[in-house]
Structure 1
Amino acid sequence: MDFMKAYELWSTDPFFDEGTRNELIAIKDDTKEIEDRFYRDLEFGTAGLRGVLGAGTNRMNVYTVAKASEGLAKYILSCGEEAVKRGVVISYDSRHFSPEFAQITAQVLAANGIPSKLADELRPVPVLSFSVRYFKAFAGVMITASHNPSKYNGYKVYGEDGGQVPPEAADAVLSNIEAISDIRTIKMMDIEEAKSKGLVTSFGPEIDEAFTNMLTKLVVDQEAINKQADMSIVYTPLHGSGNKPVRRILEAVGFKNIHIVKEQELPDGAFPTVSLPNPENPEALSMAIELAKKTDASLVFGTDPDSDRIGAAAKVVENGEVKYKCFSGNQMGLMLLDYILDAKKKLGTLPDKSFAVTTIVSSKLVKSICDYYGVELQETLTGFKFIGERIKIDDEFGDKHFQFGFEESYGYLSGVDVRDKDAVVAAMLICNMAAASFEKGETLADRLDHLYEKYGYGVEQTISCTLEGKEGIEMIGACMVELRQELTNCKNLAEAKNLLGGASVVAVRDYKESKRYVFTDSGVEVEEITLPKSNVLLYELGGNKGIDWACARPSGTEPKLKIYMGVYDSDEARAKASFETIKGQVEGYVKSKL
């Protein structure tokens, strides 16, 4: 069915509610907008659904959510009676229509005879992940678009291990979704009927208590918390779902002086006080920093709407002036990893066969830290589902011991009872680490300086090129095709300097083709890559420590092409100077393809 036929169906058929039809009738003369809404079905990938709210097959709405839920239901039914009996746990964040989408999910599952446990109020990603494991459910659904703008929402599916479903399961769900030829055939059980039949039940305080109790066991240094219990801390939930669980764990472990940004405390899907509810952006913490100045806070942090990401800043004094230094996702990940491993090493609680996990686009200094403590480092593709998968394989079903995982996009995880990014445990650990630093008369900024002195300086940055709509997706795809074609045509080391605008490329990892191309003076050597296929090009740039790099990768959840870079050196000034040169070459060259 072409996009105009789909538009005509949605705008005229009484199956679709009046609001949907009126919204579509209002754009009847805008062919471009109609095409963008109907040229495809909203893509269901390993991250589930994520899209702009609105009417259309390429939008997030009650009908696309119902279709995804029907596909999930058919997948669960195909997995047998035990899978059906164990059912699904459903939660949601503060975004527009999140509670409605959660309920529709439960109603579609109920119509298929599949029971679900529905959160009695908004709860974040880590609580959903924990709940799937706690209830021994077969699957989970989280209604969220994470840190995206307010016009977005999404639908994430989790497996029985509490991690996002791996590619194989996602493909099976997608196959079932694609088999639905007529969305009007999808059945939904009335919510009251579903409740009366026991097919929809709610969960709440029991999980909150169990989740908090689990987190208290992950404290690294309780003595430091006890001594620094009155440390002034500012927290902002950014209108999201982290408010209650974050405050609950901080109070449970003993922090007594926590200040909340009142204007950003309550859930609000419009996120009215920020341009983007993303703690990766320092401006998202601006109100929290202003409160910190008034309360003389030593630490500031904020969580995104589904509380899987966290951004933090620490008080510093420069030339007598109080300022707040914001840390990057890589910097915080490096500090937490070093802090956890160092504390466990000193206490004698770091077991043999310990491992940490990070992603291919995160800081390359992670290996130096892991080597120092004798801990195995595992690298995965971007996406915490892959980190969760390593925990399942090597810790839950193996003989190794997971210590910490992180990715550069401000996602962290400690412990094995949650299998996705967890800003709640990260909040507790960051506060614990800050308290330990204060015990030494230092700040987190001092801790970072010491880390760089010990392992080498790293200058890293992620640049996002946002290109929305059908044309944007096509431009991103064309850019990757052109970069890959240039790689294919490159014959030796001399020609490799043309791949990224003059940057000294020594090798390229093409994860889509599962090949690593190593350039020599006389030709190209090809090695196999064992990670799953992904549309990623990672350029190895050598450098003084031999680990400089750059990467081009389309985002899996947003209409963005991401450009990553990292430069490392034993000298800070030299690292910064080299980075600026490489950034100019790489950013300019990749953007010229868009």
Structure 2
Amino acid sequence: MCYKKEYSKWLLSEYFDSETKEELISIKDDENEIEERFYKNLEFGTGGLRGKIGAGTNRVNKYTIRRATAGLCEYIKKSFGKENNRIVIAHDNRYKSREFCIETAKVMAENGIKSYIFDDLRSTPELSFAVRYLKCTMGVVITASHNPKEYNGYKVYDSNGGQICIEVADNIIAEINSIKDYSAIKVKSYDEYLKLNMIEVLDNSVDDAFIDAVKEQIVNEDIVCKYAKDLKIVYTPIHGTGLMPISRVLNECGFKNLSIVEEQTIHDPMFSTVKYPNPEEISVFDMAKKLSDKVGADIIMGTDPDCDRVGLIVKNKKGEYKVLNGNQIGSLMVRYILENMNGNIPSNSVIIKTIVTSELGAEIASKYGVETINTLTGFKFIGEKINEFEKTNEKHFIMGYEDSYGYLIGTHARDKDRVVSALIICEIAAYCKSKGISIYEYMYDTYEKYGYYSDKLKSIVIEGKKGVEKISEIMTYLRNSDPNEIGFNDLLEIKDYKNGIDGLPKSNVLKFIMKDKSWLAIRPSGTEPKIKIYFGAKSDDSIEDSDRKLNSMYENIMNIIESI
């Protein structure tokens, strides 16, 4: 693609509005910025679009949203026929999310596909639920999840409510790539499509059904009935979609002692109270900790903008705040759920996790005779497994989870659900309170019973065209190097998922497994300009010994990457 030619086309064409042209004129003297915005079309990956908001072919704007939707429409019509197709669309609080939602619906309507949209922002797990509940052909959610405020995105869901699989994504990508002329995508006004009933704004019935489905996932009714009222909770939605569903479900289940960070209930697309709207970042909880000190909270929870991730802060015996990571939370959920099934665990039960998730949950599951199934990174692969089990009745699904704060208990959705996760976390906290311990102490009791596991994630952000090249160079170097020469002297096995192994689809992931069962995995992010390195270590002796192994691996791989 000739970026200068595309830039001129956007400036001169009558199709693009004045706001877009003013933005492009403002960068006319910045050759690097023009190239970055126009050297390619924004890529539609296996889940959809994600990128910086702005004018240009390599940005998220109403025109790239229209193009993606036009391609999706063609896929729908070719795959499902031209009649009786319906789609449901949700969005978060990000800049232009509502506009992009409406643009998606307009393009759908112009192609004869009816859209259901919500009256305001809704969470990603509710969108996943709504696809199934409304019996839609597909679904779309406008969000960039936990990315910085400059980003927005577009995720596509299949009729099962899960993120689209690789084969479907490839077919949609082919349709999108066939659209060369943005101006060929025509739309009418939003009001016109409303009158034609091609766009319908949903009432609260979907909300009610979703909340009811979440409440059904309570593990131990007695614990909730007896102790929910005593648990003191601080919660922050970090300006996003979690406020309504989480506060509602907790209140309706008896967790009445809920304090919410009011400053972060505002649907602020600038996320002005935090640096990044990511519950994996401890700094997003600064306001929550102050509120917790005031009310004497037992736990602090926070969800990202589209409410598909939840972070958790708890207290130790000394009353100090401690952060539990995604692997720890997931492992505790596995333990609590299996312990409270009171021996009524079906013989074909499974938990599902990703290949970069800690092995602690799998160790716990094995003690209860429960199988662990591994998938590639991305909750869509967990969703696919749930669909498979639902059709064949071969396995009984208990829960699925991943290291990046993603969990699903129940089959009401096919994507990670922070609403049900928040409910189960509060149930675990109530259980711990009934025993006179904190969740933090429950975590260490788990280590003593099942082994000491340490884990860590390192993300290296490398933006722009050069960043893509650098990430590729790192992966090539590690893939082609002698393990002994790069410091992996106690290596047991290398798993290269690029070749399609362990019955999984091909993926650009390398995993190094050591003789002591420590491991590290490295992969480029599928949604952000970064490369991710995952570390896992285990000791039978102490958490300090496990941490030592972890830090040794970390120092080794970081020295290698810095030398490339």
Aligned-pair CA distance for 1:5:
0.4
Whole-Å Cα distance in 2 between the matches of residues 427 and 529 of structure 1? 33
Alignment partners' CA distance in 2, 1:84 and 1:289:
53
- Measure how far apart 1:256 and its partner are: 0.8
Q: Retained in 2: the 8 A contact 1:542–1:549? A: no
Unpaired runs of at least 5, structure 1 = 491-495, 515-527
Map of 1:566 onto structure 2? 536
In structure 1, what is the equivalent of residue 509 of structure 2? 536
Report the equivalent of 1:352. Answer: 347
Between the aligned partners of 1:504 and 1:202, the Cα distance in structure 2 is: 59
Structure 2 residue 126 is matched with structure 1 residue 127: yes
Provide the rounded CA distance (Å) in 1 between the counterparts of 2:369 and 2:16.
60
Instruction: Return the alpha-carbon distance in structure 1 between the equivalents of residues 88 and 391 of structure 2.
Output: 21
Q: By how many angstroms is 1:502 displaced?
A: 4.5
Q: Contact conserved, 2:214 with 2:412, CA < 8 A, in 1? A: no
Corresponding residue for residue 575 of structure 1: 546
Trace 1:229-240 onto structure 2 (pairs within 5 A): 229-240=229-240
Aligned equivalents of 1:365 and 1:590: distance in 2? 28
Question: Following TM superposition, by how much is the alpha carbon of 1:552 offset from its aligned partner in structure 2, in angstroms?
Answer: 1.0
Alignment-mate amino acid for residue 495 of structure 2: R
**1:461 maps to which of 456, 459, 471:** 456
Q: 1:265 to 1:8 in 2, by over 3 A?
A: same
What is the SS of the residue equivalent to 1:317?
coil
- Rounded Cα–Cα distance in structure 2 between residues aligned with 1:459 and 1:84: 53
Equivalent AA in structure 1 for residue 246 of structure 2: V
Identify the residue that residue 251 of structure 1 maps to in structure 2.
251
Q: Is the 8 A contact 2:231 2:429 kept in 1?
A: no
Residue of structure 2 equivalent to 1:153? 152
> CA-to-partner distance for each residue in 1:282-334, whole Å, 9 max, x for gaps?
1111211111111000010000000000000112232xxx3111100000000
| Contact preservation (8 Å) 1:297, 1:315 | no
Look up the match of 2:93: 94
* Equivalent of 1:432 in 410, 413, 427: 427
Quickly say closer, same or farther: Cα 1:478–1:90, change in 2 above 3 A.
same
Question: What corresponds to 1:334 in structure 2?
Answer: 331
Residue type of the alignment partner of 2:90:
S
1:121–1:204 contact (8 Å) kept in structure 2: no
Q: Distance in 2 between matches of 1:333 and 1:591?
A: 32
**Contact 1:503/1:586, CA 8 A, preserved across alignment:** no
Offset of 1:339 from its aligned partner?
Answer: 0.7
Match of 1:548 among 490, 508, 518: 518
Q: 1:396 to 1:236 in 2, by over 3 A?
A: farther
The letter for the 2-side match of 1:569 is S
- Once the two structures are superposed, residues 418-474 of structure 1 have per-residue CA deviations (whole angstroms, 9 ceiling, x without a partner) of 000101100000000100111111110111011101110111000000011111111
* 1:114-513 mapped onto 2 (5 Å cutoff): 114-228=113-227, 229-318=229-318, 322-344=319-341, 346=342, 348-486=343-481, 490=482, 496-499=483-486, 501-502=487-488, 504-513=490-499
Aligned length: 562
- Post-superposition Cα deviations, 1:229-284, rounded to whole Å, max 9, x if no partner, equal 13110000000000000001101111111000011012111100000000011111
* 1:341–1:512 CA distance, 2 compared to 1 (3 A): same
* CA–CA separation in structure 2 for the residues paired with 1:147 and 1:261: 18
Range with greater deviation from structure 2 (217-226 or 268-277): 217-226
TM superposition shift of 1:84:
4.3
Deviation per CA, 1:381-422: give whole Å up to 9, x if none. 000000000000023443311101110001010001100010
For 2:554, the aligned partner's letter is K
> Kindly tell me: are residues 44 and 585 of structure 1, through their superposed partners in 2, closer, same or farther at Cα, counting changes over 3 Å?
same
Conservation of the 8 A alpha-carbon contact between 1:503 and 1:585: no
SS in 2 for 1:170: helix
Q: How does 1:76-87 map to 2 (within 5 A)?
A: 76-81=76-81, 84-87=83-86
Separation (CA, whole Å) in 2 of partners of 1:203 and 1:323:
45
Asked if the contact 2:317/2:438 (under 8 Å) is kept, the reply is no
Q: CA 1:503/1:116 → structure 2, altered by over 3 Å: closer, same or farther?
A: farther
C-alpha separation in 2, matches of 1:503 and 1:405 = 34
* Residues 532-569 of structure 1 deviation map (CA, whole Å, 9 limit, x = unaligned): 001111001122xxx21011110001111101111101
CA distance in 2, matches of 1:138, 1:189: 23
Tell me the secondary structure at the aligned position of residue 66 of structure 2: helix
Matched residue of 2:491: which SS?
A: coil
Q: Contact between 2:230 and 2:430, CA under 8 Å: does it hold in 1?
A: no
After TM superposition, list the pairs within 5 Å mapping 1:2-21 onto structure 2: 2-21=2-21
- Aligned counterpart, 1:46: 46
Question: Structure 1 vs Structure 2: percent identity of aligned residues?
Answer: 43
Instruction: Output the amino acid matched with 1:227.
Output: K
Contact 1:563 1:587 in 2 (8 A): no
Distance 2:127 2:115 in 1: 13
Partner of 1:523: none
Shift of 1:349: 3.6
Secondary structure of the corresponding residue to residue 358 of structure 1? strand
User: What's the TM-score, normalizing by structure 1?
Assistant: 0.93
Contact map agreement 1:537 1:551 (CA 8 A) in 2: yes
Q: 1:96 is paired with a residue of what secondary structure?
A: coil
CA contact (8 A) 1:110 1:189 kept: no
Structure 1 residue 41, shift from structure 2 partner: 0.6
List per-residue Cα deviations over 1:60-119 (Å, max 9, x = no partner): 0000000000011001110233x7414100000010000000000000000000001011
Cα distance in 2 for partners of 1:591, 1:459 equals: 24
Tell me the alpha carbon deviations over residues 117-167 of structure 1, each in whole angstroms, 9 at most, x when there is no partner.
Answer: 011110010000000000010100000000000000000000000000001
Residue identity matched to 2:323: C
TM-score by length of 2: 0.98
Instruction: Tell me the secondary structure at the aligned position of residue 144 of structure 2.
Output: coil
Cα distance between partner residues in 2 of 1:221 and 1:235: 22
**What letter corresponds to residue 310 of structure 1 in structure 2?**
V
Distance 1:351 1:483 in 2: 42
Residue identity matched to 2:335: D
- Which letter does structure 2 place at the counterpart of 1:255? F
- 2: CA distance, partners of 1:590 / 1:455: 33
Local SS of the residue matching 2:386: helix
User: Which residue in 2 is equivalent to 1:521?
Assistant: none
Tell me, in whole angstroms, the C-alpha distance in 2 between the residues paired with 1:426 and 1:589: 37
Letter in 1 for 2:492: V
Cα RMSD for the two superposed structures: 1.2
Distance 1:209 1:137 in 2: 18
Assess, with a 3 A threshold, how the Cα gap between structure 1 residues 503 and 579 changes in structure 2: closer, same or farther: farther
d(CA) in 2 for partners of 1:172 and 1:538?
A: 29
Q: Secondary structure at the match of 1:50?
A: strand
Whole-angstrom distance in 2 between the partners of 1:395 and 1:587: 43
Determine the C-alpha separation between the residues in 2 that align with 1:577 and 1:192.
62
Report if the CA contact (8 A) 1:114-1:199 is conserved.
yes
CA distance in 2, matches of 1:189, 1:592: 55
Contact kept, 8 Å, 2:124 with 2:308, in 1: the verdict is yes
- Which range moves more in the overlay, 218-227 or 47-56? 218-227
Task: Give, in whole Å, the separation in 1 of the partners of 2:218 and 2:512.
Answer: 38
The match for 1:518 is none
Which amino acid in structure 2 is aligned with residue 463 of structure 1? K
- Residue 361 of structure 1 aligns with an amino acid whose one-letter code is V
Q: How far apart are the structure 2 equivalents of 1:312 and 1:587?
A: 28
